[in-house]
Structure 1
Amino acid sequence: MMSGLLAAKETGERKWIYPLIRKGVYYKWRSAISYVYLIFFFAGPFIRIGGQPLLLLNFMERHFVILGQVFWPQDIFLFMLASLVFLVCVVLFTIAFGRIFCGWICPQTIFMEMVFRKIEEWIEGDAHQRKKRDAGPWTNAKIGRKIAKHVAFILVSFLIANTFLAYLIGSENLLKIITEPITHHAIGFASIWVFTIVFYLVYSQVREIVCTVICPYGRLQTVLIDEHTLVVAYNDVRGEPRGKLQKNADPDIPKGDCVDCGLCVSVCPTGIDIRKGTQLECINCTACIDVCDEVMGKINKPKSLIGFYSENMVRVKEKPSFTLRMKGYAAVITVMIGVLCYFIFTRSDMDMTVMRGAGMLYQEQPGGYISNIYNAEIVNKTNVDAAVAIRADDPAIKIKYIQAPGKVAKGGMAKAMFFIEVPASHLHAAKTDINLQLYNGKQLKQTISTTFVGPVND
């Protein structure tokens, strides 16, 4: 297992990586997935489901929307449960497929390899040209290309920053920052440029160090993968001993299929040699598979010298299997998703909690009524203000407010204090259950049961 310090030379200087681009089968699939991802990323803040955005993570106002469903801080347990589901899913996919998330779905990889890398190649040329130019003197042509590249990087980073901010504050607020005077939105305008600088530095300077040093996921996979995990791997049983092609090679000297061309290293975006075994820097991007298959095709050798293999597939010719360990995690995920879905689909737009006044006895009221005092808290989980009222399902029961709930702000909470008056003739035990209904206008939102204390009437 390599250390992640591939980005440094022996002198301590930064070792810049110039990966070649080879457009094989896996590259085309990754490109297709990336295009879909990019379309949804840039369109996401403007897509509406039931009038709500597709995704909004407004941490400042504690307002969250996922797939059109509005969530507030009162739903924090749902976020905790969803986070656990996501974590277990990551563990399961890592056990089954290693670090495939990094190479195929991670935003860092998609933007780096499918956006910024392509811009770089378009302006400065392929990897060989860029490496040669960077090692050479600063000519006018070199300066011009560098300026053009970094201007393009800043513009793309600016676009990403605006979109990212839209996920945090909403597309409506972003449009206000764009269209209204800067003085009205100084913090928002500054945030856009802070995000722009961060994204620019990540994709122009930090690059693969995010994957090899900063991101903890690479280290996580080292404790999760085992001999059954499918990862991008070199079949050393078939490939070794490696050696260059020779016309007059001695047939008695055994030689593997690897011709030691070094292209698998040249295309790697993190600069590793996959032939040295599984390494934490490998993001399973499959670039080495594409280029190796290309070479094998040219020399009339079977493809997949580098491919998706588990250790047991290489060593003992074992077929891929859904192991007991994977089944266990899959079962846990299924149960957790079921529980999460239940809570999401049964959650109400509003929640009311009613408590009888602590230590208070009942009171006798004129007209043959018995009263108890209650406190209520009403939480509005919708995205609009709501005028609410509390009623009893029995028309003979009266509710008299000391403090009416009135209008509850979106995502807010209101308190109410009131008397419940019940005809004494309705009471036949020391404690009687009564039902209270929460209304938003004419719409019934919730019915809850509470205990009413009164005298026992025979």
Structure 2
Amino acid sequence: MSKNFYNPSHEGIRITHPMAVYGFYRKYRTIVEIALLIAFFLFPWIKINGFPAILIDIPHRRFSLFGLQFWGHDTPMLFFVMASFSMGIVFATSAWGRVWCGWACPQTVFIGAIFRKIESFVEGGHIARIKLRKAPFHKEKLIKKTVKWSLFFLTSAVISHTILAYFAGAENLVSMIAISPFKNWAVFLTTGIVTIVVMLNFGWFREQLCISICPYGRLQSVLMDENSLAIIYDEKRGEPRKGLQPKTEEPGDCINCYKCVAVCPTGIDIRKGLQMECIACTACIDACDTVMATVKKPKGLIRYESENGLRGRPSGFWRIKNMIYLGLVSACLIGLASYISNRPDLDITVLRAQESPYRVITKSREEPLISNHYTLNLKNQSFHEIEVDIKHAEDSRNKGIEIIAPTYPEMIAPGKTTKNHFFITFPKSLLSEKGQLNFQLHIAATSNNKTTRNYIKELTLAGPVK
């Protein structure tokens, strides 16, 4: 941005108890949060093409993403998926500021939609929570804190088990829960650690992660410019604030009620300018609009706006930087679509064996036969078993060409690679003057759903030069 971020100093961990806020943006943020939470908890259980919507099976190096199956060796697919997501966030930040942080980041969603709701239910509103925190230790405080952290622990356990389902599969998760934890002690220990981390993060550390650890807030100064949307206080309209203006001047629209500070989860004052700690949660907009409606003044004193828009200048969306980012996102998506469309379930590599290119087989009173030795490397890139067989084309049989492949048909397990040898024999008379013969190798692959796909590999058979 054109201005430096206001960065107030903080000492230690700052615990905030923001006031609940209601309004236009809070309504739609609630809808988005509910949709995201439903998706998070349901995706491991939803199956597309027989597999979980999202599966990250690291031990077996297999991954499933909304019907797409790929393995650890599918590096291009993984690259395009990650690059599309990353460049999408970069583009969104350049155009709409920290919309990811305020509307879709798991840190914001889980804290605002679950953990603060539990805290408010047990301890009361923000004033009651502040008083309880400052109060000396007593029985009521012990009971409320115990109930709150017990609910935090149970909620964190559900979240950590859902995270485990993304890595192990929902069905495996149910099986592991049903048996003794000592039979899966590594998974049990990992899940326990994740539960504690989730509970401390969402229940205690909260927005301090956004301020102290997450690098995204610092990157926004690079990604955003004067045309990027941000949550901004209209200083020209609001200043001088009521009660702070000189006696000779009329006050601005800001009545200095500090509601925008009271509702802020990071505890900043948006009136001091654009700040790194602002996660664009829109709480200050709803709070200020409510106050403006009460005092019968126009809404929008704090609003989504660009710096140029605040100065009365046009804010162009289709600027060069945005078009470059959007072009990169499109290129990543096109690359992903191209890779998926050209990626077969069965990867086939035919190589000539490391020996003499051919052998001459002589039989009495018959034309000599030429034998070529090949290796057939097959990799099952699907999540189903595939039966592979080498087929003999009728025109090849009629010419006296034979394929000797004793190991086929062969069943290949998902993700497995096989290497087998086969021989092709043919009459010497079929060779060209250069000692070559073009040949099509037909390979049939039948999956467990009885769907057969035929592959053709072009080979150049070798023999003696005439």
Give the aligned partner of residue 438 of structure 1.
443
Inter-CA distance 368–243: structure 2 relative to 1 (3 Å threshold) = farther
Give the aligned partner of residue 201 of structure 2.
202
Give the aligned partner of residue 28 of structure 1.
27
Q: d(CA) in 1 for partners of 2:240 and 2:392?
A: 84
Q: CA deviation at 1:254?
A: 4.0
Q: CA deviation at 1:245?
A: 9.4
Q: d(CA) in 2 for partners of 1:370 and 1:320?
A: 72
Cα shift readout 1:145-193 (whole Å, capped 9, x = no counterpart): 1000000000000000111000001011101111123332222222221
User: Is 1:417 aligned to 2:417, yes or no?
Assistant: no
User: Is 1:360 aligned to 2:356, yes or no?
Assistant: yes
* Residue type at the aligned position of 1:277: G
* Residue type at the aligned position of 1:35: I
Give the aligned partner of residue 59 of structure 1.
58
Q: CA deviation at 1:387?
A: 2.9
Q: Which runs of 4+ in 1 moved over 6 A?
A: none
Q: Is the 8 A contact 1:352 1:438 kept in 2?
A: no
Q: d(CA) in 2 for partners of 1:3 and 1:144?
A: 40
Work out the percentage of aligned pairs sharing the same amino acid.
37
SS at match of 2:228: coil
* Residue type at the aligned position of 1:344: I
Q: CA deviation at 1:288?
A: 0.7
Give the aligned partner of residue 456 of structure 2.
447
- Identify which range, 55-64 or 350-359, moves more after superposition: 350-359
SS at match of 2:150: helix
Q: d(CA) in 2 for partners of 1:445 and 1:237?
A: 71
Q: CA deviation at 1:359?
A: 5.8
Give the aligned partner of residue 42 of structure 1.
41
Per the normalisation by structure 1, the TM-score is: 0.92
SS at match of 1:74: coil
* Residue type at the aligned position of 1:284: A
Q: CA deviation at 1:233?
A: 1.2
Per the normalisation by structure 2, the TM-score is: 0.91
Q: CA deviation at 1:299?
A: 1.1
Q: d(CA) in 1 for partners of 2:168 and 2:338?
A: 29
Q: Is the 8 A contact 1:404 1:418 kept in 2?
A: no
Q: d(CA) in 2 for partners of 1:402 and 1:391?
A: 12
Q: d(CA) in 2 for partners of 1:99 and 1:16?
A: 22
* Residue type at the aligned position of 1:421: T
- Identify which range, 143-152 or 296-305, moves more after superposition: 296-305
Inter-CA distance 50–159: structure 2 relative to 1 (3 Å threshold) = same
SS at match of 2:264: coil
Inter-CA distance 88–193: structure 2 relative to 1 (3 Å threshold) = same
Matches within 5 A, 1:178-197: 178-197=177-196
Give the aligned partner of residue 371 of structure 1.
371
Give the aligned partner of residue 140 of structure 2.
141
SS at match of 2:293: helix
Q: Is the 8 A contact 1:405 1:416 kept in 2?
A: no
Inter-CA distance 151–422: structure 2 relative to 1 (3 Å threshold) = same
Alpha-carbon RMSD across the aligned residues, in angstroms, is: 2.2
Inter-CA distance 415–275: structure 2 relative to 1 (3 Å threshold) = same
* Residue type at the aligned position of 1:27: R
Q: CA deviation at 1:455?
A: 3.4
Runs of 5+ consecutive residues of structure 1 not aligned to the other structure = none
Q: Is the 8 A contact 1:98 1:230 kept in 2?
A: yes
Q: Is the 8 A contact 2:13 2:205 kept in 1?
A: no
Q: CA deviation at 1:25?
A: 0.9
Q: CA deviation at 1:141?
A: 0.9
Inter-CA distance 280–435: structure 2 relative to 1 (3 Å threshold) = farther
SS at match of 1:45: coil
- Identify which range, 161-170 or 416-425, moves more after superposition: 416-425
Q: CA deviation at 1:358?
A: 4.2
**Number of positions where the alignment pairs a residue of Structure 1 with one of Structure 2:** 450
Inter-CA distance 426–113: structure 2 relative to 1 (3 Å threshold) = same
Inter-CA distance 239–391: structure 2 relative to 1 (3 Å threshold) = same
Q: d(CA) in 2 for partners of 1:188 and 1:3?
A: 44
SS at match of 2:44: helix
Inter-CA distance 235–84: structure 2 relative to 1 (3 Å threshold) = same
Q: Is the 8 A contact 1:349 1:382 kept in 2?
A: yes
Q: CA deviation at 1:96?
A: 0.5
* Residue type at the aligned position of 1:225: M
* Residue type at the aligned position of 1:28: K
